[in-house]
Amino acid sequence: MTCRTSLLWMCLLGAGLASGAAAQQAAEDAGAATKPAAMLDLRRQPAVSGDAQAGAGKAAVCAACHGAHGVAVAPNFPNLAGQSATYLYVQLKSFKGGQRSDAVMSGQAAALSDADMRDLASYYAAQAAKLPGRADVASRGAQLYHAGDPARGIPPCQGCHGPDGMGPRPHPSSAPQPPWASFPRLRGQSGQYLAHELHDFRSGMRAATSNAKVMQGVAATLDEADVQALSAYLDAL
């Protein structure tokens, strides 16, 4: 830029405005790329069914982390075996739609069609869940899970995840499902993974679906000792 000396202040102001506008445009462009995905309302999510056999073929790429039959190869990866098909489907859909994000899974889900997601969800739902462990029924985790801690506003987890951690049991029909039908099973899940998710709910990292919002509210009542106690209990359930 060339400027006449007498108008140096204008020149500087002009340059400042120009670079300010450029910076703002760049920020808007970056914002557009990382713009939060629209909230996904799952309250009327119909029950999901797919072709489990077709899903088995499509699951080959997932086995590296989630295991050949949905029991993960390491505790930082979630177990998918025996999980509700509807829950699995909505998670894949929200990884693809950007409501849930993860360095690995966002990329994995981007390549899946809606039919792929239904088939994969049906395949994993039909696999045998991790064998039950020996959960300590007298532990602080068990107490929180079954009775919560009303004085601190912690609700009993069993109210939504079932007394045995098996998740809700929606009626098996094509009639509209209750709004809680897409809630997950926790039994057979890795404690390390569950603790990671509780942190994600608490930080707001996982909060862009109607279900995640519910769980975000619950997680906000938990401190770190609660997270550890609950994860240890659930890991052995």
Instruction: Give me the residues that bind ligand HEC (CB under 6 A), please.
Output: 61-62, 64-66, 77-78, 80, 88, 91-92, 102, 104-105, 108, 120, 144, 154-155, 157, 159-161, 183-184, 186, 189, 194, 196-198, 206, 209, 211-212, 214-215, 218, 230
For residue 233, what are its two tokens? 């209990």
CA diameter of the chain: 83
Direct distance between the N- and C-terminal alpha carbons of the chain, in angstroms, rounded to an integer? 69
Which of these, 55, 27, 188, 72, lies nearest to 117 by C-alpha position?
55
Cα–chain center distance at 185: 13
The residue among 10 and 61 lying less far from ligand HEC, judged by its C-beta, is 61
The residue among 22 and 74 lying less far from ligand HEC, judged by its C-beta, is 74
d(CA 5, CA 11): 9
Please state the closest distance from residue 105 (CB atom) to ligand HEC, in A. 4
Which residue is listed with tokens 């390390």?
A: 192
Please state the closest distance from residue 220 (CB atom) to ligand HEC, in A. 10
Which of these, 168, 153, 165, 164, lies nearest to 219 by C-alpha position?
153
Please state the closest distance from residue 90 (CB atom) to ligand HEC, in A. 6
Please state the closest distance from residue 171 (CB atom) to ligand HEC, in A. 18
Please state the closest distance from residue 223 (CB atom) to ligand HEC, in A. 11
The residue among 11 and 107 lying less far from ligand HEC, judged by its C-beta, is 107
Q: Is 35 exposed, middle or buried (0-12, 13-18, 19+ CB in 10 A)?
A: exposed
The residue among 11 and 160 lying less far from ligand HEC, judged by its C-beta, is 160
For residue 191, what are its two tokens? 């404690």
18: left (phi over 0), alpha (psi -120 to 50) or beta: alpha
Please state the closest distance from residue 150 (CB atom) to ligand HEC, in A. 12
The residue among 129 and 157 lying less far from ligand HEC, judged by its C-beta, is 157
The residue among 16 and 107 lying less far from ligand HEC, judged by its C-beta, is 107
